[in-house]
Each structure stands twice: as C-alpha cells, then as structure tokens.
Amino acid sequence: MEKRVLVLNLDHFPIAVITVQKAMVLLLMEKANLLSSYELLEIRTVSRSFSYPAVIRLVQYKHIPYKGVLLNRANLFRRDKGQCQYCGSTKQLTIDHVVPRSKGGKTSWANLVTACNRCNVAKGDKTLEQVGMKLQTLPFTPTLSYFLATYASRQAVEWLPFLESSLEVSASQG
C-alpha cells in the first residue's frame, strides 16, 4: 500500500491527505516545504534521489472554510471504533438514536451511536434510563484531526508530532 502525505497549512493546521505524487509536485514547484519524511523510503530517478515525504507544509496560507466532519454511517462507525456502544460487540452493527426520534431526539453526532442489532432492538424507542442501559463512551463530534490521529497511530506515526498541537486546539474548541 502506498503511503499518504499529510498537508499542513502555513499555520501548521492539517488540511488534507494527498498522494506522494501530488506532494512531490508541490515540493518541486516550491509551493510546499518538507517537514518530515518516512524513514528507509526514498523516491529515485535516474539522476536524483528524494526523501519520501510524510508531512509537508504549504508556503502560502490557504483559507479553507472548515465544514466539520461529515455525519455518515462510515464516520460514525469509525468514531465508535466499530463497536456497539452498549455491549462492545463488533457483529451486526447498526445506528441507534440515544434519545429516540419519537421522543424528540435529533440526528446529530451527540445523539447517534453504533449499536449491535441485539442492543438496538432491546432498547427500542425507549430512553437509556427506561431500559437500564449505559453507554460505554459518550457520543461526541469528531474533528478531522481526531480521524487523522487515529489513522496516523496505525499507518503514519511520522504525522503524530504535527497532529498533537491541532488536537489540543480542537479539544479546547469542542
């Protein structure tokens, strides 16, 4: 699998994840600076050798309006680490409204959790107090930095030092 490259804005805030080819174009056109590279990897041409980029920073600040992380099934499962938030199961996962829609619950990050089919049916359209169930973790609105840090811890540890500061900023805002 090809490694990905983290792109930081001039203020060191993460704005994108791109392919190595796109990163090399930005670097060669001097639109970005190399901040970190993957160890033991390099890109070789007939006459030159380049570090394999892991993190680059744009030379000019780009204003990119932040719209938040898209609320969809895949991102909800990713936030909840593919586990039922009531029993911890990883089988037959569905989405559950913590406060049922019939009781005024909204479809939002703060009211949706991943639930296995068994727990979802057991809860039905009742509140947690009515059925005596508890959430393992409280639902929250994830940020792009949260998902990037999760990815980085498995695939690109070189990103982690650059994500720590943006995670702290996100936590203070959220």
The count of residues in the chain is 174
In this prediction, residue 166 has a pLDDT band, given cuts at 50, 70 and 90, of: low
pLDDT tens per residue, range 99-158 = 999 999 999 999 999 999 999 999 999 999 999 999 999 999 998 888 888 788 777 888
Based on the structure, what is the number of domains in the chain?
2
Q: How far is CA 174 from CA 27, 31, 113, 141, 167, in A?
A: 33, 32, 18, 8, 10
Alpha-carbon gap, residue 101 to 84, rounded angstroms:
19
Domain range for 88 = 73-131
Is residue 87 a part of any domain in this protein?
yes
**This model's pTM is above 0.75:** no
Token code pair at residue 20: 């190595």
Residue 80 lies in a domain: yes
Percent of the chain residues past pLDDT 90, beyond the cut: 69
Task: Note whether 62 and 27 are same-domain residues.
Answer: yes
Helical (H) or strand (E) element with 40 = strand 32-44
